[in-house]
Amino acid sequence: MPILRTEHVNKYFDKLHVLKDVSFGVERAETLVILGPSGSGKSTLLRCLNQLERIDGGAIYFEERPLSYERRAVYRNRRNFGMIFQSFNLFPQKTALENITLGPITVAKVSKAEAEREALALLEKVKLADKAYAYPAKLSGGQQQRVAIARALAMRPKILLFDEPTSALDPETIGDVLEVMRQLATEKTTMIVVTHELGFAREIAERIIFMDMGEIVEGGPSDELLARPKSARLAAFLDAVVHK
């Protein structure tokens, strides 16, 4: 039984049809990678899953219950997801530690002491224990992204959504972020990852979905899909990425 699945999801930005009949599912503990050229709707799809965007048609089921768009239901559903953004979106006026504890303290009503203890453990996990009191502006992109991962984990989400987590990073700091994600994958965290990192996708993804122009073109086990693309569009995409 998939922990999350979508059925014929459609989404428009004004007249632009950005998601066309998107149906897919994620199993518990699975790492699913969504590949596709920019503008293919990958990020919009992620944002629909935790209801940062509203869908115009179809349905999304979390643990087999359809998502409601009633205000409080939306707030509740978002806590099932942790989201990591391309541009990190850390809170600039807060330290790394405060970035991580803000959610637990204000949303989950955890005590400050407890939240800080857990935050320090999470910083340890992403190998940034020494940066607990640093402000985001003082951190490298890779460090900021790892704080963002810790911030998401602090809410104990059931699924992690990664929206091109390494696209805004310098090549030398990508490795640290991928290392943390690799670690999460081995811990059986359910993850949906939008990425351009083909090598990384092959390594951690059990399954890959290829999207183009708002629709899922094909999907399947990662080795198979990358080695023997069935569609001309995926073949062309892989070719373009490899030869960039």
Partner 1 sequence: MESQPIIVQYAYFFLQATAITLGISFLSLFVGSIIGFLFSLLRISRSRVFSALAFVYAEVFRGTPLLVQLFLVYFGLPIVFHLEVSAFTTVAVSMTLYTAGYMTEIFRAAIQAVDRGQWDAAYSIGMTYPQALFKVVLPQAMRIAAPPTLGQFISILKDSSLASIIGFMELTKAGMAVRAATSNTLLAFAIVTCLYFMICYALSIASRRVELQLKKA
Give min distance, CB of 227 to partner 1, in A. 35
> Segment 82-101, which members bind partner 1 (CB under 8 A)?
82-83, 85, 87, 89-93
Q: Which helix (H) or strand (E) holds 220?
A: strand 215-221
Length of the chain: 244
How many whole angstroms separate alpha carbon 130 and alpha carbon 20?
46
Q: Is the distance from CB of 192 to CB of 159 less than 8 angstroms?
A: yes
CA distances from 157 to 51, 71, 108, 186 (A): 15, 19, 12, 16
Apex 204 CA angle, 126 and 33, nearest 5: 105
For 10, the token pair is 């459609």
Instruction: Check residue 102 for interaction with partner 1 (CB under 8 A).
Output: yes
One character per residue 147-176, x = contact with partner 1 (rule: CB under 8 A): -x--xx-xx---------------------
Size of the site for partner 1 (CB under 8 A): 26
Instruction: Check residue 81 for interaction with partner 1 (CB under 8 A).
Output: yes
Give min distance, CB of 175 to partner 1, in A. 24
> Segment 178-217, which members bind partner 1 (CB under 8 A)?
none
Which residue type is seen at 61? Y
Please say which residue, 8 or 156, places its beta carbon nearer to partner 1: 156
Residues making contact with partner 1 (CB under 8 A): 47, 50, 52, 75, 78-79, 81-83, 85, 87, 89-93, 102-103, 106-108, 148, 151-152, 154-155
